[in-house]
A and B are shown apart, each in its own frame.
Chain A
Amino acid sequence: MSAVLAVEGLVTEFSTREGILRAVDEVSFSLAKGEILGLVGESGSGKTVTGFSILGLVDPPGLVASGSVRLGGEELVGAPEEQLRRVRGKRIAMIFQDPMMTLNPVLSIETQMVETVLAHERVGKAAARERAIEALGRVGIASPAERLSQYPHQFSGGMRQRVAIAIALLHRPEVIVADEPTTALDVTVQGQILFEMQRLARESGTALVWITHDLAVVAGLADRVCVMYAGRIVEAGAVGQVLDAPMHPYTRGLLDSVPAAAAPGARLHSIRGSTPSLARLPAGCAFRERCEKADDACASQPPANDREGRRVRCHHPLC
């Protein structure tokens, strides 16, 4: 099955006062049609920048330095802006974390949805409006025709995110990159949105890159998972395999840190140390200083180790 999205050796760098920092360091993964991929990592791991890099939305002082992003065979890295513009919103869409900030507060929902339709298709305004109403209905918004003329601040957080999802689905893209879309929402609403997204993805055959820090979300939603640390993918594989039998010590640490994993009354586990700043990464494996299994071999970058459809970057994988 050919991949609908193939990311190969993606590198994104930021020029700062402290030098050039690699927020995305040789990230590679591929996505099949209709597949849901979870991209997991703590804040600062580079997962959001990866999302932006795929769509070519990295603003200065950041820059996609090298690598390849192929959307159904079309190369996006280094493509001219007009080509990227045509692809964005039509073949690959993005959903952001905080819908209050992503919807323009002074424009009506109708304006923001109709313009998305008209940006990629030559249809009349009335037809575009109908599409918008239909899309709102699909994500479960009641009385969509009335709500069209309203403004973002008149919607609750969960509703706003549904609107953002509706916008993402307007052109039935091949891929949707969702950057922590449920983090800013109430727990109950989170569950609803997750369910909706899964259903919609399955219905329309849209592949999904789900960026999150929450392993629980990944467990329930994704088919495959990539674990990111300090800009690198340290482990990747089918969700069941990675969560049941993690190979990388960091993944193991993440799983152990989940409160539900601890016995009642026992001390909560946490990975010792803290995420290093990108400016002060240790040479070799970035996780060295927090890993119990680290030794001298870890002073060199661990190579990617592919085994039975799984991949891990570690000199001392757990299994």
Chain B
Amino acid sequence: MGVYALRRLAQSLVVLFVTSGLVFAGLYLVGDPVEILVNPNADQEEKLRTAAALGLDRPLLHQYAIFLKGAFSGDLGRSFVFGQPALEVILERMPATLELAFLAMLISVALGIPLGLYAGLRPHALGSRAIMAGSILGFSLPTFWVGLLLILVFAVQLGWLPSTGRGPTEAVLGVPLSLLTWEGLRHALLPATNLALFKLSLIIRLVRAQVREQALLDYVKFARAKGLPRSRVVGVHLMKNILIPLVTVIGLELGSVIAFAIVTESIFAWPGMGKLVIDSIFQLDRPVVVAYLMVTVFLFICINLVVDLLYSALDPRVRLGAAK
């Protein structure tokens, strides 16, 4: 297990490295680095000075080295719009995005697993068919459009929930979170539900497919032949086998949800990383865009790594090696 973990870690570092290289190459070769990293509103003289200071007249590899060195020490450029280090700007808004993503995943898992279980165990019941039809609808609905509809219905027409913004925050271990207050939850409910819809449908379908596949296997029959109550056959035997691939998917979907928050945050004016990066793209605040990409890629790599390790920890066949 230790060797496996080390190998995955090494792989992750390679991926991080390669991605940084791609982002770097993309920005420096395709775009005009002066345009990208220097404030476009600066005059010609200042541009030249900044360009020299940033080492843009040096050979490409040298520049990449400088970039990497900066990256390691947390310096990914300075935001034009905010006048702060880009990384700082991103990190300030990360908790907002993470709590939205977390709430969305919670909703989709808490609803998705029971619904998927039911649909898998009783595939021909009316409820199951409704659930499956609903799930196709769920992942066909364009997320951003649903967001608009949610605002229209719940905020404009019914006035139950606020349409934009994040609720009041409280600091927990130094990190400002808004989910701990009722007001905060009210603000987060619509955007989180919006984000959750697609994932909910995916999870329902995945759980159902897994249940239908696993329920036919011999170990289920054997468990029943031993006289185990149905609750245990489903709740322990079936669930443990389903949970293993499920955990993998949930982990990967978490990364996807963090990325997709870009859309939801824009619609609901939720002050997270996503909204920031869209604004930055339009305001040509490219250091922030670079910082966002690097941070998100890093997040994904971490998530992928954790999921991999979790998988091997959960599945005893992987954990303990092959048969004797």
Q: Mark A residues whose CB is within 8 Å of B.
A: 52, 55, 57, 59, 81, 85-90, 93-94, 96, 98, 101-108, 115-116, 119-120, 150-151, 153-156, 164, 167
Contact = CB atoms under 8 A, between A and B. Distances in A.
Given A104-B237, A105-B219, 20 more contacts: A57-B221, A59-B221, A85-B224, A85-B228, A85-B229, A86-B227, A90-B227, A93-B226, A96-B221, A96-B222, A101-B217, A101-B218, A102-B221, A102-B222, A104-B223, A115-B228, A115-B232, A151-B316, A151-B317, A154-B320
A55 B316 CA distance: 31
B222 A106 contact: no
Contacts of B240: 104, 106-107
B29 interface: no
Contact of A88 (B227, B323, B324): B227
A107 to B, nearest CB: 6
Interface in B203-255: 217-219, 221-230, 232, 236-237, 240-241, 244
A115 B236 CA distance: 11
12 contacts: A57-B224, A81-B230, A85-B229, A88-B224, A93-B225, A96-B222, A96-B225, A104-B241, A119-B229, A119-B232, A151-B320, A156-B324
Given A106-B244, A153-B317, A156-B323, A55 B225 contact: yes
A150 B322 CA distance: 12
Nearest to A171: B227
B315 interface: yes
B226 A116 contact: yes
B316 A155 contact: no
A116 B228 contact: yes
A48 to B, nearest CB: 11
Contact of B322 (A85, A93, A153): A153
A256 B175 CA distance: 82
Q: Which 9 A-B pairs have the closest CB atoms?
A: A89-B227, A88-B227, A101-B218, A89-B226, A102-B222, A94-B225, A151-B316, A104-B219, A116-B226
A120 B324 CA distance: 33
Contact of B226 (A59, A88, A105, A106): A88
Contacts of B219: 101-105
Given A101-B218, A102-B222, A85 B227 contact: yes
Nearest to B227: A89
Contacts of A55: 225
Interface of A is mostly: mixed
Contacts, number: 92
Contacts of B236: 107, 115
A149 to B, nearest CB: 10
A96 B218 contact: yes
Contacts of B222: 94, 96, 102-103, 164
A129 B36 CA distance: 68
Contacts of A101: 217-219
B122 to A, nearest CB: 11
A59 B220 CA distance: 11
Interface string B135-178: 00000000000000000000000000000000000000000000
A110 to B, nearest CB: 12
A52 B220 CA distance: 13
A102 B222 CA distance: 6
A120 B227 contact: yes
Contacts of A153: 316-317, 320, 322-323
Contacts of A115: 226, 228, 232, 236
A125 to B, nearest CB: 15
Nearest to A120: B227
B317 A105 contact: yes
B322 A89 contact: no
Contacts of A85: 224, 227-230
A113 B222 CA distance: 12
Nearest to B218: A101
A139 B142 CA distance: 60
A22 B322 CA distance: 42
Contacts of A106: 240-241, 244, 314-317
B141 to A, nearest CB: 34
Interface in B299-324: 314-317, 320, 322-324
A106 B249 CA distance: 18
B207 to A, nearest CB: 16
